[in-house]
C-alpha cells in the first residue's frame, strides 16, 4: 500500500505545478510580465467572425473584401477605402506571423456558418512555408489555434510542434516565460497602468478598423541602403536558407482555397512585395544546400503556388516580379511601409474589378 502511495507523488507534483501556473493568470497578474500584445489580434479576429456574419446579412450592406495575412498586410487605411471605393468595406483577418493554418481555422468557421464575402485575398510568403528555416516561430499555433483544430489536423504538424503546443497550453508560464526585468519595470509607478492602457487602445483600434492596425505612413521607413542590406542578409539567413517547401503548409493553403472555391467566393493569393535586396536573393541565390543543381526560392515556391491557384479556380498575384507596383518604401526588407498601403489597396481593388468584370454578378 505504501509503495502505491509513492506512485501518486509525481501526479501530486504535476497537479500542484499546474495549479500554481494558473495563479499567475488570475486578476490580470499577467500584465506585470507580458512582453507582447499580439494575443489581442488573435482574440479580435475570432470576435470579428460574428461581426462579419451580421454585416453580410444586412440588406443595405456594402460589398465585402476580406484579407487573410500577417504583419505585412495589417496597416490598411479604412478612410482611404471609404473615400476611393465607397461601395466596399474591408474586414482584415491578418494576425502577426499569420500562416495558412490560421487562415484555415477562420475559413472553417466561414464554411460552417455559410459566411460568403464578395472577394477574399490570402497573403502568402515563402518564408512562412519553409520547413527548414533556422528560426522557427510558433506564435500562430500557440496563440491562435484551439486544441480542437490542432487535433483535427494533427497529422500535418511535426511531433515536436505538437509536444510544444501541449506543454505551452498546459503551462502558461512556460508559454510566456516571465522575465524579472519586465516585472521590475511594471512594478514601477504607473508602468503597468500604461501597458493596460496600450492594450485598451489596441483593442479599440482593432474593433474600429475591422482588424487593421493604423500605422503612421512615415513610421519606421528605412532610408539607408546599408541598413536595408543588413535587414535583407539577416532575414535571408534566418528564414530562407536552406529552403524546403513544407508539405503541411501546402496542405493548409490547398484546404483554404478549396473551401472558398466550393463556396463560390472569388479568391486570390497575393505575394506581398519585399525589398529589392531580398527579391534579388529569392530570384537568383541557391537555396537548396545539398544539391549540385540547387534551385532558388522562387523556382521552388512560385510554381507550387500557381498550381494550387489554378487547381482551385483562384488567382496568384505576384507583387515582386510581375508588377509595376509604384511604392518602394519598407520598414525592413520584407515589410512594406504603411506609406505604400493606399497603392496596395489600389492594386487589390484593380484585381477585384478585373474578376467582377469577367464574371456574372453574384
Question: Does 14 reside within a domain?
Answer: no
Angstrom distance (rounded) from CA 13 to CA 7: 11
Does position 360 have pLDDT exceeding 70, yes or no? no
pTM (2 decimals)? 0.88
pLDDT attached to residue 170: 76
CATH number at residue 118: 3.40.50.1110
The backbone torsions φ and ψ at residue 88, rounded to the nearest 5 degrees and listed phi first, read -130, 150
Question: Does 6 reside within a domain?
Answer: no
What nine digits make up the cell of 244? 524546403
Does position 11 have pLDDT exceeding 60, yes or no? no
Least confident of 16-20, 30-34, 183-187: 16-20
Q: Which of 42-46, 169-173, 200-204, 288-292 has the highest mean pLDDT?
A: 42-46
Q: Which helix H or strand E contains 103, and what residues bound it?
A: helix 100-113
Angstrom distance (rounded) from CA 359 to CA 332: 38
Task: Report DSSP letters for 115-144, one per residue.
Answer: ---SEEEEE--GGGGBTT-SS---HIIIII
Does position 37 have pLDDT exceeding 80, yes or no? no
Question: Does 133 reside within a domain?
Answer: yes
Answer with the residue of higher pLDDT: 24 or 212.
212
**Half-sphere exposure at residue 36, Cβ-oriented, CA atoms within 13 angstroms:** 12
The backbone torsions φ and ψ at residue 315, rounded to the nearest 5 degrees and listed phi first, read -110, 160
Question: Does 193 reside within a domain?
Answer: no
Question: Does 20 reside within a domain?
Answer: no
Strands 88-92 and 63-68: parallel
Host domain of residue 46: 38-160+216-357
Confidence of residue 12 (pLDDT cuts 50, 70, 90): low
What total of structural domains would you count in the chain? 1
Question: Does 169 reside within a domain?
Answer: no
Angstrom distance (rounded) from CA 334 to CA 331: 8
* CB contact at 8 A, 64 and 91: yes
Does position 88 have pLDDT exceeding 60, yes or no? yes
Q: What is the mean pLDDT of residues 167-187?
A: 71
Question: Does 26 reside within a domain?
Answer: no
Rg of the chain in Å (alpha carbons): 22
Answer with the residue of higher pLDDT: 357 or 182.
357
What nine digits make up the cell of 266? 472569388
pLDDT attached to residue 217: 73
Question: Does 109 reside within a domain?
Answer: yes
Amino acid at each position: 500500500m505504501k509503495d502505491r502511495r509513492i506512485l501518486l507523488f509525481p501526479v501530486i507534483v504535476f497537479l500542484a505545478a499546474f495549479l500554481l501556473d494558473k495563479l499567475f493568470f488570475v486578476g490580470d497578474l499577467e500584465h506585470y510580465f507580458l512582453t507582447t500584445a499580439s494575443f489581442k489580434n488573435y482574440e479580435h479576429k475570432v470576435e470579428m467572425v460574428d461581426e462579419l456574419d451580421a454585416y453580410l446579412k444586412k440588406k443595405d450592406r456594402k460589398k465585402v473584401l476580406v484579407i487573410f495575412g500577417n504583419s505585412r498586410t495589417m496597416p490598411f487605411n479604412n478612410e482611404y477605402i471609404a473615400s476611393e471605393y465607397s461601395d466596399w468595406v474591408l474586414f482584415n483577418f491578418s494576425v502577426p506571423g499569420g500562416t495558412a493554418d490560421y487562415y484555415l481555422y477562420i475559413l472553417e468557421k466561414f464554411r460552417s456558418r455559410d459566411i460568403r464575402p464578395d472577394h477574399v485575398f490570402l497573403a502568402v510568403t515563402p518564408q512562412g512555408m519553409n520547413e527548414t528555416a533556422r528560426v522557427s516561430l510558433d506564435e500562430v499555433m500557440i496563440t491562435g489555434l484551439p486544441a480542437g483544430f490542432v487535433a483535427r489536423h494533427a497529422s500535418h504538424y511535426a511531433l515536436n510542434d505538437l509536444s510544444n503546443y501541449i506543454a505551452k497550453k498546459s503551462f502558461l508560464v512556460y508559454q510566456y516565460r516571465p522575465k524579472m526585468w519586465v516585472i521590475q519595470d511594471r512594478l514601477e509607478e504607473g508602468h503597468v497602468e500604461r501597458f493596460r492602457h496600450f492594450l485598451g487602445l489596441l483593442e479599440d483600434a482593432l474593433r474600429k478598423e475591422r482588424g487593421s492596425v493604423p500605422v503612421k505612413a512615415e513610421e519606421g521607413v528605412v532610408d539607408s541602403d546599408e541598413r536595408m542590406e543588413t535587414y535583407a542578409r539577416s532575414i535571408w539567413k534566418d528564414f530562407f536558407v536552406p529552403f524546403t517547401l513544407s508539405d503541411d503548409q501546402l496542405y493548409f493553403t490547398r484546404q483554404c482555397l478549396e473551401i472558398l472555391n466550393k463556396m463560390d467566393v472569388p479568391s486570390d493569393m497575393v505575394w506581398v512585395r519585399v525589398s529589392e535586396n531580398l527579391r534579388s536573393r529569392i530570384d537568383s541565390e541557391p537555396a537548396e544546400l545539398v544539391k549540385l543543381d540547387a534551385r532558388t526560392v522562387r523556382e521552388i515556391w512560385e510554381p507550387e503556388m500557381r498550381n494550387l491557384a489554378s487547381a482551385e479556380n483562384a488567382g496568384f498575384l505576384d507583387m515582386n516580379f510581375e508588377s509595376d507596383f509604384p511604392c518602394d518604401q519598407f520598414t525592413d526588407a520584407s515589410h512594406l511601409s504603411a506609406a505604400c498601403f493606399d497603392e496596395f489597396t489600389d492594386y487589390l481593388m484593380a484585381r477585384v474589378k478585373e474578376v467582377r468584370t469577367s464574371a456574372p454578378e453574384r
